[in-house]
């Protein structure tokens, strides 16, 4: 048995347990602001999510605020919030 077990957390989207370092933490500060907690030490209520689109969509369906989900999506994709919002309101077909 390892002396220092790896801390695990559950993804709010897919509900699988993963090592904490593989997940993204979104925190709502005491002031009510949602932001990505890069170092995992921010005060406030936090939620963990896998860094993939499917889990983000599932987390949004589970009563996560749109602002929380949008912040993670912008961080993961590198697109601005405006670009993502415009893509969500247009019908995009692939193939």
Reported as a single tens digit per residue, the pLDDT across 48-60 is 888 888 887 787 7
Q: Residue 34: count other Cβ atoms within 10 Å of its Cβ.
A: 20
The model's pLDDT over 66-76, given as tens digits with 9 standing for 90+, comes to: 777 777 777 76
pTM: 0.58
The pLDDT value given to residue 95 = 47
Range scoring the smallest mean pLDDT among 21-25, 42-46, 67-71: 67-71
């Amino acid at each position: 048995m390892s002396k220092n077990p790896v801390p695990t957390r559950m993804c709010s989207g897919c509900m699988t347990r993963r090592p904490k370092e593989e997940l993204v933490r979104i925190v709502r500060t005491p002031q009510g602001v949602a932001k990505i907690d890069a170092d995992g030490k921010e005060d406030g209520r936090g939620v963990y999510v896998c860094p993939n689109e499917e889990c983000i969509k599932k987390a949004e369906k589970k009563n996560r605020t749109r602002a929380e989900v949008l912040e993670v999506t912008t961080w993961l994709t590198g697109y601005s919030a405006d670009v993502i919002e415009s893509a969500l309101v247009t019908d995009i077909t692939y193939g």
